[in-house]
Structure 1
């Protein structure tokens, strides 16, 4: 079955406090996005990679690819005004070919290739595969009147990406108008009344959104290179 991967990277870098959007910042000698694309390409060079970024960044990205001699094949697609719209644009660029598609945050460069492979296999079998990890800390639920209540963490999971789906099903799911509770692709899929299938993610699959994350990511890259 044909495999696709949509890498979504529309961040502005506001939380990072950087003039350059976080996805273009360097760790380990090249921009974060290049590390992310490389993981998918390393797993399977036959995966069609689709990079969704703001159209205004196209020339900047192409210059970065030239500067860093980045050769991983990928197609550029313009992002939308929200993550929902960006993913929809990525899906629309694929056409009606049957297959599976992994949707992944561009600023998660430490995803384990084994998780990506498992997500494709389980999506082929169950229609979807959502990477999740267990909670380590205790959690409490806050109420509007300022109170809080204990929650049993064994019944909760932290959701990561990739979130992988049969292409025809997720394309159908994205035909609906965007709703406020669509926080990720799994919620869009569930809106159709379909149950999502969970798979174990990898705890080190860091989403880089803050200066502290960037510092830790640089440490991880150095450790990996050693």
Structure 2
């Protein structure tokens, strides 16, 4: 019987409060009584108490986060790593804390409603195929911009990409050995650039990324349903 690989989650939380129109970095804004980032960490802990959690934050926010953990008596064990100048550099810094082989999830710190079942499915896909990238189908009609205006495209041919995005440590580390490119918008695009295939996993519309004041309203509504 094959030995199960250790599981890691790199939770990238490098945002500011600019688009949120808020002085507090968005990952620290309280939802349902505690910072968004704490909800996110809890989701991965609920999936597996043995998962190795790596939280990547801007260097200047590390002390604030430590104080918040004390204030809210937040005791889930996790490692903190200073981020870089870009998301690419931040993920690369997080990967530096991954020892040896394993399965590595990369997740946005401000996606606090990812379901345990989704995390499980992404890890299982990565264990079987090398990758597991969470997506949902678009609800709206889609138009492609062209030189003469725009054209309608079949919605069924497209997916909206979320996180977590899970890969074997070997594949992810190899992908992040290269330099950042302008077309790298997520980990799947980084991994795909070295010739690896991407396996898609169906996610949930509740797995929202909290970036605007409207998202906060929705987040509070989702959180109240779970209380």
Normalising by structure 2, we get a TM-score of 0.97
| 1:41 partnered with 2:45 | yes
Q: Distance in 2 between matches of 1:194 and 1:50?
A: 24
Offset of residue 92 of structure 1: 1.2
Offset of residue 136 of structure 1: 1.2
Of 75, 97, 104, which residue of structure 1 is paired with 2:107?
Answer: 104
Which digits, 9 at most, give the CA deviation of each residue in 1:60-91, with x for residues without a partner?
Answer: 00000000000111000000000000000000
Of 114, 117, 124, which residue of structure 1 is paired with 2:120?
Answer: 117
Spell out the pairing of 1:81-160 with structure 2 (5 A cutoff): 81-95=85-99, 97-145=100-148, 147-160=149-162
Q: Distance in 2 between matches of 1:166 and 1:173?
A: 11
| 1:53 partnered with 2:79 | no
Offset of residue 142 of structure 1: 1.3
Of 71, 81, 84, which residue of structure 1 is paired with 2:75?
Answer: 71
Q: Distance in 2 between matches of 1:69 and 1:58?
A: 16
Which digits, 9 at most, give the CA deviation of each residue in 1:1-25, with x for residues without a partner?
Answer: 1000000000011100111110000
Which digits, 9 at most, give the CA deviation of each residue in 1:132-190, with x for residues without a partner?
Answer: 00111111011244x11000000000000000000111000000000000000000000
Moved over 3 A (4+): none
Q: Distance in 2 between matches of 1:83 and 1:144?
A: 31
Aligned with 2:49: secondary structure?
coil
Of 196, 199, 205, which residue of structure 2 is paired with 1:197?
Answer: 199
Spell out the pairing of 1:204-219 with structure 2 (5 A cutoff): 204-219=206-221
Aligned with 1:164: secondary structure?
strand
Which digits, 9 at most, give the CA deviation of each residue in 1:69-127, with x for residues without a partner?
Answer: 001110000000000000000001213x1110000000000001001011111101100
User: Size of the alignment, in residue pairs?
Assistant: 223
Q: Distance in 1 between matches of 2:15 and 2:37?
A: 12
User: Unpaired segments of 5 or more residues in structure 1?
Assistant: none
Aligned with 1:107: secondary structure?
coil
Q: Distance in 2 between matches of 1:176 and 1:192?
A: 9
Aligned with 1:215: secondary structure?
helix
Q: Distance in 1 between matches of 2:87 and 2:116?
A: 24
